[in-house]
C-alpha cells in the first residue's frame, strides 16, 4: 500500500477513535471491559471472604467492601479505559506494520492491559485491607503506572516480538520531513 494511502487511513482511524465516542456519547472501551472487570473482581472478592456488595453510584457497576473502617468502592473508572485507548492509538498510528501484525498486537495488548488491571485492583484491595495508610500513595502510583508506563512497556515488548522497526508518530514525521526535503532539493536542482 502506498505510504500516502496508509497514512490517510491511519490518521482517519486515529481521529475516529476519539471522535466517535464523543459523538455517540459512549466510551467504547469502558463498555467493552466494564462488565468483565466487575464480574471477575466481584468473584475474587467473594472468594477472599471480603463480602462485596454491588451498589449504585450513578454508574452501571459498583462494588463496595466494608472491612472494619475501610471502605473500597470499585467504580467504572477502575476499568482504566484510557490505557486501552492509548494501546489502540499506538496500534493504529504506527507506520509500516502489516494489518495482521496490528491485529495481533491489538489483541495481545488488550489482554495484557485487562490482566494487569485485575492485578492492580487485587493489589489495591490487599493494600487497603492490610495497610490502609499506604492506600492513597499506591493507588496513585499504580494508576499512573498502568495507564502510561505499563502500556508503553507492553507496546515496546510487542514491537520487539513482532519486529516493528518504526516509532509511533516519530517515524511518520521523520519520513514526511525527508520527503519534503528531497522534493525541495529536486526543485532547486531543476531550477539550476
**Confidence band for 189, pLDDT divided at 50, 70 and 90:** low
Average pLDDT over residues 153-167: 95
| pLDDT at site 63 | 65
Find which of 85-94, 119-128, 145-154 is predicted with most confidence, using mean pLDDT. Answer: 85-94
pLDDT cut 70: percent of the chain above it:
84
Nearest-angstrom CA–CA distance, 34 and 73: 15
**Confidence band for 71, pLDDT divided at 50, 70 and 90:** low
33, 51, 139, 174 from 166: Cα distances, Å = 29, 48, 33, 10
CB 32 within 8 A of CB 106: no
SS3 state at 164? coil
Q: What is the pTM of this model?
A: 0.82
Higher-scoring residue by pLDDT: 186, 146: 146
**Confidence band for 56, pLDDT divided at 50, 70 and 90:** low
Nearest-angstrom CA–CA distance, 192 and 181: 17
Average pLDDT over residues 25-43: 86
| pLDDT at site 123 | 87
**Confidence band for 92, pLDDT divided at 50, 70 and 90:** very high
| pLDDT at site 84 | 93
Amino acid at each position: 500500500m502506498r505510504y500516502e494511502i496508509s497514512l490517510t487511513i491511519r490518521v482517519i482511524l486515529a481521529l475516529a477513535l476519539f471522535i466517535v465516542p464523543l459523538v455517540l456519547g459512549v466510551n467504547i472501551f469502558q463498555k467493552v471491559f466494564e462488565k468483565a472487570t466487575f464480574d471477575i473482581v466481584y468473584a475474587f472478592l467473594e472468594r477472599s471472604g471480603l463480602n462485596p456488595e454491588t451498589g449504585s453510584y450513578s454508574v452501571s457497576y459498583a462494588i463496595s467492601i466494608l472491612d472494619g473502617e475501610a471502605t473500597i468502592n470499585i467504580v467504572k473508572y477502575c476499568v482504566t479505559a484510557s490505557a486501552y485507548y492509548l494501546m489502540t492509538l499506538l496500534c493504529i498510528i504506527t507506520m509500516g506494520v502489516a494489518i495482521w501484525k496490528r491485529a495481533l498486537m491489538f489483541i495481545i495488548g488488550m489482554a495484557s492491559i485487562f490482566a494487569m488491571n485485575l492485578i492492580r485492583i487485587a493489589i489495591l484491595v490487599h493494600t487497603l485491607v492490610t495497610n490502609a495508610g499506604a492506600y492513597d500513595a499506591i493507588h496513585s502510583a499504580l494508576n499512573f503506572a498502568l495507564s502510561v508506563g505499563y502500556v508503553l512497556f507492553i507496546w515496546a515488548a510487542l514491537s520487539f516480538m513482532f519486529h516493528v522497526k518504526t516509532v509511533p508518530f516519530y517515524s511518520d514525521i521523520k519520513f514526511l520531513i525527508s520527503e519534503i526535503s528531497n522534493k525541495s532539493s529536486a526543485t532547486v536542482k531543476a531550477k539550476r
